[in-house]
Structure 1
Amino acid sequence: MTTLENAAAVLKLFSQKGIRQGHPGLSFSDVVEQLAMPKSTVSRLLVTMETEGLLERDPDSRLYKIGRLLLAVSSHYLCTPLVDAASPYMAQLSKQTQCTGYVSMLEDRDIMVMRMFPGRTYLQVITPAGSLLPAAETSIGRAMLARYSDQQVIARYREGYRVNSPNSPQTLDALLKCLSEIRETGWSFAHNETLQGISGLATSIANKHRNEMVGLGLSFPSPRDGDALPAGIREGIVSVTRQLAEKLGDEYWQ
């Protein structure tokens, strides 16, 4: 293994052993035993990682903790607004799938489109940034509503539940059943709801460090009855969401 691979293996031990802030840290023997490496190799590796700011060693306990360099980089990333953090991923996914990509936020019972990335399919689906759409009638809205408990969703619709699309959940109970299914799979599907001939697939992602949540969605021409989703759409958006979840520590996707 290269020095970089060995350093990565050491850093992964912090996650594997559940070492969080307030934990004493990793010992020299922990690294030797877990990675099955010679003591001389581990000694040189840990000294280098400490010198470069990847690790810090407590002068009293002699245990290793995550260094200031990694903390500074992760802090900068985690403090980035979630809409901005997700946008490059959705722009690339939109290009790969040729679908129109969206990043949206939940505003009471509506979603607000924050970013839109035009697709290249023969049917252009354009809902510009700033648009408001009923959350219950969109895949991206239901993906975000699924993050809440049934009681919280019921409270959100305490003034009454009403939808315009005949293809959306027609009652609050039907919506709750739909949200339960979304919690099982992690993704939400809408077929000919906001617009006839248009379908959408969506997920949601949260950054607990900023108390933010956004929905990530792809829109595309609706498959004909009996046809499967276009290749790569579901796999692509789930993969992107999992990548973001890993970076942000979103336990919903673990």
Structure 2
Amino acid sequence: MTTLENASAVLKLFAQKGIRQGHPGLSFSDVVEQLGLPKSTVSRLLMTMETQGLLERDPETRLYKIGHLLLAVSSHYLSTPLVDAASPYMALLSKQTQCTGYISMLEGRDIMVMRMFPGRTYLQVVTPAGSLLPAAESAIGRAILARYTDSEVVERYREGYRVNSPNSPQTLDELLKCLAAIRESGWSYANNETLLGISTMATSLQNKHRDETVGMCLSFPSPHDGHELPAGIREGILAVTRQLAEKLGDEYWQ
């Protein structure tokens, strides 16, 4: 394998081992085992990747994390005018509600997380920027899909409709009924779907002049049976969405 292929294999190892934001990192032995190369070769490879900004090494644990160069490039890639415009509003809303906030965009039949705003309410699992999740199995994905006509949604799933969560719409017909309800209310709700124990309230926003659509949501621990949503979540995200929609001329919210 070439040096480039070896470096690519190291970066792929972060995904294979589920190393995300907040994880201690990747060890030297992890890389040696994955690449099957002499330790001296791996040592030179990791040193080069660190020098070039592809990796960073914790001086205490000696574990490797994604470097500043990759983070800078991914941040630029994940940046769009609409995402940037919505970010200050979601950051403030996340702080006010103490919920974790997200801004995402549709990528095929998935959503890509563009921004994450940590809340003060503790969540066991968070979804970092750059993550892909099935659109049909998330409140934010369905909020965006509701912007499309039924025929456009059917075309998007022409190769087949499958979901993993038993709490998500199980058939394409069920999804279409769910999207119709979202168009009526303007918001989408998911309970124990993508992540067990986590519920999400979401809306969508569009800048037709740039053909950009994003979903915005708040995530929080799922309410116990018989309990309503925590106060302020639905009202807060609807207020922020309408405020932004007015600035953008998003007729969906008029």
TM-score in terms of structure 1 length: 0.68
SS in 2 for 1:142: helix
CA distance in 1, matches of 2:178, 2:243: 25
2:95 matched to which residue of 1?
95
1:150 aligns with 2:132: no
CA distance in 2, matches of 1:165, 1:132: 15
Q: Which runs of 5+ in 1 are unaligned?
A: 1-79
Alignment of 1:39-58 (within 5 A): none
Q: Is the 8 A contact 1:143 1:203 kept in 2?
A: yes
- The alpha-carbon deviation at position 122 of structure 1 amounts to 2.9
2:251 matched to which residue of 1?
251
CA distance in 1, matches of 2:191, 2:226: 13
SS in 2 for 1:182: helix
Q: Is the 8 A contact 1:118 1:125 kept in 2?
A: no
CA distance in 2, matches of 1:217, 1:209: 23
1:8 matched to which residue of 2?
none
Query: Alignment identity in percent?
Result: 82
Q: Residues 97-145 of structure 1: CA distance to partner in whole angstroms, max 9, x if unpaired?
A: 0000000000010000000000111335410000000000000000000
1:180 matched to which residue of 2?
180
1:120 aligns with 2:120: yes
CA distance in 1, matches of 2:126, 2:134: 16
SS in 1 for 2:89: helix
CA distance in 2, matches of 1:143, 1:114: 15
Q: Residues 32-61 of structure 1: CA distance to partner in whole angstroms, max 9, x if unpaired?
A: xxxxxxxxxxxxxxxxxxxxxxxxxxxxxx
Q: Is the 8 A contact 1:191 1:198 kept in 2?
A: yes
1:104 matched to which residue of 2?
104
Q: Is the 8 A contact 1:119 1:125 kept in 2?
A: no
Moved over 3 A (4+): none
2:239 matched to which residue of 1?
239
Alignment of 1:175-254 (within 5 A): 175-254=175-254
What is the RMSD computed on CA atoms of the aligned residues?
A: 0.9
- The alpha-carbon deviation at position 250 of structure 1 amounts to 0.0
CA distance in 1, matches of 2:231, 2:252: 25
1:15 matched to which residue of 2?
none
1:133 aligns with 2:133: yes
Q: Residues 53-77 of structure 1: CA distance to partner in whole angstroms, max 9, x if unpaired?
A: xxxxxxxxxxxxxxxxxxxxxxxxx
- The alpha-carbon deviation at position 235 of structure 1 amounts to 0.1
- The alpha-carbon deviation at position 172 of structure 1 amounts to 0.2
Q: What amino acid is aligned across from residue 150 of structure 2 in structure 1?
A: D
1:171 matched to which residue of 2?
171
- The alpha-carbon deviation at position 209 of structure 1 amounts to 1.2
TM-score in terms of structure 2 length: 0.68
Q: Which runs of 5+ in 2 are unaligned?
A: 1-79
- The alpha-carbon deviation at position 149 of structure 1 amounts to 0.4
SS in 2 for 1:201: strand
Aligned residue pairs total 175
Q: What amino acid is aligned across from residue 228 of structure 2 in structure 1?
A: A
